[in-house]
Structure 1
Amino acid sequence: MNEAEAQTVRHIFKRYCELKSVHALERELRDAGILSKYWTSLRGKVMEGLPFSRSALFHLLRNPVYLGLIRLKQEVHEGEHRAILEQELFDKVQPQLDAQARRHRAGPNRRVVRYPLTGKLFDANGEHMTPSFSRGSKGKHYRNYVSASLQQGPKSAAGITQRVPASEIENLVREFASRVSNAKKRPLDKVTSVHLHYDRIQIDLASDALNGTPSKLESGETIVFENKQVTRFAIAISLPKRGGQRTIVPSQIRKPRIDKTLVASLRKAHQMLKMQKGLPLVKRAPASLHESKILRMAFLAPDIQRDIMKGLQPPSLNLQRLKQVHVPLCWDEQRSALGWVETAAP
């Protein structure tokens, strides 16, 4: 048990009992500089502590793991870890959360809003994009899908769209699914996942909803993968901003745009290598951090290097962004990190 983190959890429970408001608790924790814990992802990336969001606090205050229990679906089981909370304190919090939820549902302006892409929409980093509902200064309501990490505070990664208007993405996916499938009623039910990139959207449709190979594809729409379960489509789009909101506009297939700086850097990367028994080895050590980052380009997937030479890289990709992005060795992970259309099976 990490005692410092356990003390933070106890403090959050005690303060909520006193404040009786998650919104007030969120503000107090933010002002006090109390952050979530640091952790390391499976890829070895260190994630810094972030301010607690309201959704994170609701989840924390409902989580039985602090009582030494484990929740599996709808059931709760005894865990093998120590409890860090007293049952009395946990039980005291739950009725207050229930009462707060009832007040929220009974509010005079409460609206029931559906988000049909919940659980299906992902950004280019593979993060879930979750529903977000807000009201403007003039009382206008806004529905969006927002990346999970953006709700917790960090800045958007370069070239990654982390917020989109809900109605526009839903209408685009609904129209496409209705046009190419045999599902004329509730076509979104046949959509298994949607991945949003800066210059395209990838839509996975259940293959049994298609009448053979779709023949109603329009300019900018292609099939990138298909099997008996799923058919993956890519639709070229653009995301111009309008009035602070991103507007999704289907676009034509983009023309090649050769980035001379990228091409020159790729060639320089290969000049620093030599081949020995079919394996690349460094022939000349990089003279600077800049050259070290350029050298990584020689280890990009062959199709990524080919697209750079032909000018078919994503519009958001340039040398500056390439130097900032962590480029994994796995080719499939490279395509996801840099925004290439995935061709591997789902």
Structure 2
Amino acid sequence: MKPDAGRPQFRRPEQRRCAVYTRKSSDEGLDQEFNSLDAQREACSAYVKSQSGEGWRLLPAPYDDGGCSGGTMDRPALRRLLADIEAGRIDIIVVYKIDRLTRSLTDFARMVEIFDRHGVSFVSVTQAFNTTTSMGRLTLNVLLPFARFEREVTGERIRDKIAASKAKGMWMGGVLPIGYDRPIHGSRTLVVNETEAALVRRIFASYLDLGSVHALEHQLQREGIVSKRHVSSTGRETGGQPFSRGALFHLLRNRLYLGEIRHGDTYHPGLHPAIVDATLFDAVQHRLDGNARKRKSARESVARSALTGRIFDADGHPMSPTFAYGKGGRLYRYYVSAPLQQGARRSAGDTGPRRASGPALEESLATALRRLMPEDMRMDVDPLARILRIEVLRDGVEVVLPITLLRRLEPRLATGEQAAVDPADPTHLRLELPLRLSTHRGRTEILAAAPRPRKADPVLVAALRSAQQMFMRGTQGRPTLDAAPDTSHRRRLVRLAFLAPDLQRAILAGEQPENLTLARFLDSDLPLSWAAQRRMFEVIASENHHRRV
């Protein structure tokens, strides 16, 4: 028989690695020698030590989140804690109170899943329960809503206090505006910075002179004026940047400069002095409101741009509607290529139109399409609605239309216009319109519509009739001139009667070659052969065409 037979056997308890997690919502007081985090850690460490008989052992690594809200899981120490749990380095998490870990029931449910998956227990020192038991989970689910309720009640108290303080005109913090310095210690009244206050008054006055926030922005940039510089408690410096238009709009609308404090949509008389005169402030508001109405009207005009989404430049980039103001506040509407709107600069060899006058282009297209499709005009159909796509090229525009319109267009095409099946899509046709483009001060605008059908030249028609009247037939059927006095002009003019019949008909119909004017005819040597006459005018017309191109 062994000596220890019959004696009770004692086994050493299993070692349990304990991690203490502490948290404080604000960073106030963390610089003290003994702060809230130290107090929480000390209480938790004492509890772990009291459980040493159960094998609990405190891990030396601290998990402290100072200045972190319990309403989020984005906390440095918490992320490190969860990573160590995933790595299997922790058996028990010890906190002073449940809300130190989280105030969100949803977040805690996610944490409990991680704890259970890795066999980790959760212990609250002041509430004494363990999440590895069903009773511990029940108690936890009861306590968490109360923690959340406490947080919401605290938030309501803080908001009510801020509202009451602002109603008394106190400055309750936020981004410090240019023109004022922080209140002195123990005060809630902003202190005027005279140098910055003078700059604020100058900005208000400059806006009235310039009449535009955009112009004001450029003036301040030219003068090197920047926003107010701020230095945080950690030494981080912000501000000191050129004023953006958004910042200038905010500055010019800020009633703080009238000595008022804003809370929501309500303004209260502030304890701080005003730095902008009420007359100047009201004048600026009136100008801002007027410009806002103009911008709204301009945006509505741009929104009505008929070709939006269907117009492209020669490189296939979409051209979007935009606007600008000229002298006297006149509104100019354009279609501008996307790269140009995005700030890209044109290359030296880029001669293609990247900007087109919206009204001029739309009117030109509508005029050309009404002429080519008069049936639409009789049915009061918007001709621009037929357009599927339009490409603005250097020598004109190409319009993509439904192929069903091809037969309607062909008989009415004028000089320089062409219509054919689109090679890329046989269900569409491409209509080429030689719209005249003109570049002025770097802006390419479409100035004129497609050429209209030519009209008869009244001077040339009258000369042709005079020539026919001068050339009479005698008694024997032979042609003879009238009895009027013979002159050099009459001898040259009468040659019109010897023009080929088809050329005479073309003159009467207004379809004669462009070079066949009375002055050009009188200076030319007219051959007697009709075929030679036709060749001569065809050659001259061709030469003139190539010379113009």
**What TM bracket, shorter-length normalisation?**
0.3 to 0.5
Q: Which structure has the bigger radius of gyration?
A: 2
Give the TM-score normalised by structure 2: 0.26
Q: Which has the higher helix share?
A: 2
Higher relative contact order (CA 8 A, sep 6+): 1
